Amino acid sequence: MSLKALALNGTLKASNFAEESSTGKLMELIAEEFQKYGVETETIRLADHDIKPGVTSDEGRGDAWPNIRKKILESDILLVGTPIWLGQPGSVCKRALERMDAFLEETDEQGRMVSYGKVASVAVVGNEDGAHHVSAEVFQALNDVGFTIPANAVAYWVGEAMGSTNFIDLKKTPEAVQAMISTLARNTAHLAKLLKQRQYPSQEG
Amino acid sequence: MSLKALALNGTLKASNFAEESSTGKLMELIAEEFQKYGVETETIRLADHDIKPGVTSDEGRGDAWPNIRKKILESDILLVGTPIWLGQPGSVCKRALERMDAFLEETDEQGRMVSYGKVASVAVVGNEDGAHHVSAEVFQALNDVGFTIPANAVAYWVGEAMGSTNFIDLKKTPEAVQAMISTLARNTAHLAKLLKQRQYPSQEG
Amino acid sequence: MSLKALALNGTLKASNFAEESSTGKLMELIAEEFQKYGVETETIRLADHDIKPGVTSDEGRGDAWPNIRKKILESDILLVGTPIWLGQPGSVCKRALERMDAFLEETDEQGRMVSYGKVASVAVVGNEDGAHHVSAEVFQALNDVGFTIPANAVAYWVGEAMGSTNFIDLKKTPEAVQAMISTLARNTAHLAKLLKQRQYPSQEG
Amino acid sequence: MSLKALALNGTLKASNFAEESSTGKLMELIAEEFQKYGVETETIRLADHDIKPGVTSDEGRGDAWPNIRKKILESDILLVGTPIWLGQPGSVCKRALERMDAFLEETDEQGRMVSYGKVASVAVVGNEDGAHHVSAEVFQALNDVGFTIPANAVAYWVGEAMGSTNFIDLKKTPEAVQAMISTLARNTAHLAKLLKQRQYPSQEG
């Protein structure tokens, strides 16, 4: 069975501003690992798109969200990546999560949110500290709007307290990070396959 | 397929102190709903047991955790319930989560944490405000130690800002809460069955 | 002593989109209360301004932040207001906090961040659940970048679990909310006066 | 002016179990620094005491909290220290915070919580990741129950992602940590002096 993953890169910077992104680097490593399990990944760098603030699925003229939302709905897996700022998820990632609030009222004919059956995992990168909390926020937000979270669904890297090294400048991916990436990809793909074959039951009655 | 759920009630009070618990009430409603899906639930009121602080699976003489841990490992589903205090999970619930930190190094012959394949959901009750954050903390902690989180895995009740009503004193379960309970039970049972039939693959190599 | 407060309203909607904002309503009530203590408040509706993503104080052409930043530095008090979405602070508020990350390296001749001596408080509004966590995030972010937090520095309103009422549609401000507003204004003004008279000491040596 | 600080060490282990504590080490460094500002510190290792779960100020027979609470009320500064487990505050620290929930209804003749005028700061230590979130939780809990938070009120150390080094085993305190300790001590003492001279006004009327 082949699977599609959509990777939303929440780096604060558009591509024309800073071509490389530590968050993007970690997400690439995950996308490569996904291939081992038949998962093809498309990546969207959110800061390249004009996603309007709001909690509906279409905030009108010039809103880039409807197209991104369409890609989410066509995917089996959603990988949300974000840098850490002040120990918290970045505002670009937050905006995308916020737009998925609309899923709460978007259900199929059996009462299931449009996100049901999709599996989500998380990539987090920072100079230092904050990855667990970021994953907590993203897990909860995505679970509220209908995504399923596989075992060990986060891969992250942060440096020592008050550090300033960027993940992208590491000479080599640390073994612990590589292990998290392998685990994330393996478990995410496994669960996505199970749910693609056996969607959640009708939520009616 | 029949399934076993273990429900850990994190109310701060032992049974001999306050026979009724709002957290316990919500968990009972969930356990009843679980029955519709062939899930039998055993409940442990954590405050009735002397769970030592620590992050190993056995903290020595008098530690009640090894027995609770054994029951977790025999179950397909873990339901974690907690009251909200100061907008956060209670210390009794936190202690149980902390003890599961040991799972990080407890793996089977295929490198899978002992919790792999088990599904977790969450029940939260408070006079007011805090349920989303509590679920975020519990989801992340349980996911880190190997549990899988089904879609819409939390049921909660809280009153209006600064309220003082207890869930147990409500004359009737609010419809919105009943809907969350139904969803939680349906999705948790569905995912637990899938994973019981098709465990995550080996984490080796 | 007269004091200046800057109120940043993090509602997701620009003024031309939705003239009224529940967050704005709560902030107005706080601003009125501030007057009792000689505090004049200027309010900025963040969504009316093009605040670029980033973590510097000037993200270049078209960035509205430098002007807002200037007003923060001219104020004695910063009031941060945000709606709750998915139990978390909104992305518009997050973006403003993120921009203050730059304060970490902006110090005066005595090594103090430019925010030192300023007092911060928080206003949070949602249909339901999330205020404590939102205040936790905002307190920590603002404290990291140099603000001081007075006792009981948050005023909030949320409805019962899964509620859909808006604060702006309440016929009357609930007494508990009015009490929080009074406390917030009294304590914030008191502490701002103390620190205006007696700034933190030099951070050198 | 001389000041008293009470340091609550939330390490999970009692003194007879593990004589040294990384959390304790960081708190000692802060206590030494406090001396420069005329602050005398008394430290309580919470795990050495039988603090009952609950949200009142006296949970009855054998409860060690009333004595600790008395020391909090006699102090000008509260320093809360905790290890990080699963990216979150430890259960021992959480229990102490939970007990302070009682302050919400313990007011003086002018309607001020018994904690008003006291300043709180935070020490956090972990093998890796979690310090910002822990400080967010502790700041919010303590602020809710009446404490004031000075600028840059946290000192922490954590290692790189997935690290296993203990703070106590570092050969030398990293400069960045020493800088945080200096800042924390300086600002905490400054604000405590201001508030000791000029308590918050009456909360009546």
Q: What is the pLDDT of residue A197?
A: 98
Summarize pLDDT for D48-94 with one digit per residue, the tens.
999 999 999 999 999 999 999 999 999 999 999 999 999 999 999 99
CB A54 within 8 A of CB A94: no
What whole-number distance in Å separates Cα of residue C91 and Cα of residue B12? 35
What whole-number distance in Å separates Cα of residue B82 and Cα of residue B90? 6
- Chain C closest-CA separation from residue D115 CA (Å): 9
Contact residues on chain C for A101, CB-CB shorter than 8 A:
85-86
Q: Residue D172, Cα to own-chain centre: how many angstroms?
A: 23
The structural domains of chain A, with segments of one domain joined by +, span 3-197
**Which of A16, A23, A91, A166 to mutate to probe the C interface, most C CBs <10 Å?**
A91
CB A162 within 8 A of CB A185: no
Average of per-residue pLDDT across B33-38: 98
**Which of A85, A133, A156 to mutate to probe the D interface, most D CBs <10 Å?**
A133
- Chain C closest-CA separation from residue B69 CA (Å): 30
Fold category of A3-197 in CATH:
Rossmann fold (3.40.50)
Q: What is the pLDDT of residue C137?
A: 98
Hey, is the C-beta of C194 within 8 angstroms of any chain D C-beta? yes
From first to last of its 205 residues, what are the pLDDT tens digits of chain C?
Answer: 899 999 999 999 999 877 789 999 999 999 999 999 999 999 999 999 999 999 999 999 999 999 999 999 999 999 999 999 999 999 999 999 999 999 999 999 999 999 999 999 999 999 999 999 999 999 999 999 999 999 999 999 999 999 999 999 999 999 999 999 999 999 999 999 999 999 999 998 6
Tokens 């301004």 — which residue?
Answer: C49
Q: Given A133, A136, A158, which is nearest D161 (Cβ)?
A: A158
Q: Given B88, B129, B174, which is nearest C129 (Cβ)?
A: B129
Nearest to B139 by CA among A138, C105, C46: A138
- Chain D closest-CA separation from residue A132 CA (Å): 5
Hey, is the C-beta of D174 within 8 angstroms of any chain A C-beta? yes
Interface touch C140/A53, C-beta < 8 Å: no
Q: What is the pLDDT of residue B205?
A: 64
For D137, the closest chain B residue by CA position comes to B88
Band (D16; pLDDT cuts 50, 70, 90): confident
Q: Is the pLDDT of residue D18 over 90?
A: no
Chains contacting C (3+ CB pairs below 8 angstroms): A, B, D
Contact residues on chain C for D149, CB-CB shorter than 8 A:
139, 143, 148-149
Q: Given A54, A55, A91, which is nearest C95 (Cβ)?
A: A91
Summarize pLDDT for B136-163 with one digit per residue, the tens.
999 999 999 999 999 999 999 999 999 9
Hey, is the C-beta of C195 within 8 angstroms of any chain D C-beta? yes
Nearest to A149 by CA among A121, A186, A114: A121
Q: Which two tokens stand for residue C52?
A: 């670029």
CB D5 within 8 A of CB D42: yes
Band (D137; pLDDT cuts 50, 70, 90): very high
Summarize pLDDT for A76-127 with one digit per residue, the tens.
999 999 999 999 999 999 999 999 999 999 999 999 999 999 999 999 999 9
What whole-number distance in Å separates Cα of residue A138 and Cα of residue B136? 8
Q: Residue D65, Cα to own-chain centre: how many angstroms?
A: 15
Q: What is the pLDDT of residue A205?
A: 64
Interface touch B163/C158, C-beta < 8 Å: no
Chains contacting B (3+ CB pairs below 8 angstroms): A, C, D
Interface touch B53/D145, C-beta < 8 Å: no
| Torsion angle defined by CA atoms of residues A97, A41, A124 and C139, in that order, rounded to the nearest 10 degrees | -10
Average of per-residue pLDDT across D13-32: 92
- At A23, which helix (H) or strand (E)? helix A22-35
Contact residues on chain C for A90, CB-CB shorter than 8 A:
53, 94, 98
What whole-number distance in Å separates Cα of residue B157 and Cα of residue A81? 31
Interface touch A94/C91, C-beta < 8 Å: yes
Q: Please give the full DSSP string across B28-73, using - where no structure is assigned.
A: HHHHHHHHTTTEEEEEEEGGGS---SSSSS--STT--HHHHHHHHH
Q: Given B12, B97, B101, which is nearest D55 (Cβ)?
A: B12
Band (B32; pLDDT cuts 50, 70, 90): very high
3-state secondary structure B147-204: CEECCCCEEEEEECCCCCCCHHHCCCCCHHHHHHHHHHHHHHHHHHHHHHHCCCCCCC
Please tell me whether residue C39 adopts helix, strand or coil conformation.
strand
Summarize pLDDT for A134-191 with one digit per residue, the tens.
999 999 999 999 999 999 999 999 999 999 999 999 999 999 999 999 999 999 999 9
Hey, is the C-beta of B152 within 8 angstroms of any chain C C-beta? no
Q: What is the pLDDT of residue D200?
A: 98
Q: What is the pLDDT of residue A145?
A: 98
CB C35 within 8 A of CB C77: no
Q: Which two tokens stand for residue C18?
A: 């939705």
Summarize pLDDT for A137-146 with one digit per residue, the tens.
999 999 999 9
Band (B17; pLDDT cuts 50, 70, 90): confident
Average of per-residue pLDDT across B57-74: 97
For C134, the closest chain B residue by CA position comes to B133
For C162, the closest chain A residue by CA position comes to A104
Hey, is the C-beta of D198 within 8 angstroms of any chain C C-beta? yes
Rounded to the nearest integer, the mean pLDDT of chain A is 96
- Chain D closest-CA separation from residue C25 CA (Å): 22
CB B5 within 8 A of CB B41: yes
Q: What is the pLDDT of residue D20?
A: 84
What values do phi and psi take at D174, rounded to 5? -60, 145
Interface touch B143/A153, C-beta < 8 Å: yes
Average of per-residue pLDDT across B2-12: 97
Q: What is the pLDDT of residue D154?
A: 98
Summarize pLDDT for B92-128 with one digit per residue, the tens.
999 999 999 999 999 999 999 999 999 999 999 999 9
User: Which residues are C9's β-sheet partners?
Assistant: C45, C81
Q: What is the pLDDT of residue A108?
A: 95
Q: What is the pLDDT of residue B16?
A: 86
Q: Is the pLDDT of residue D205 over 80?
A: no
- Helix axis angle for C22-35 and C175-197, nearest 10°, is 60
Nearest to A77 by CA among A11, A133, A18, A27: A27
For D97, the closest chain B residue by CA position comes to B86
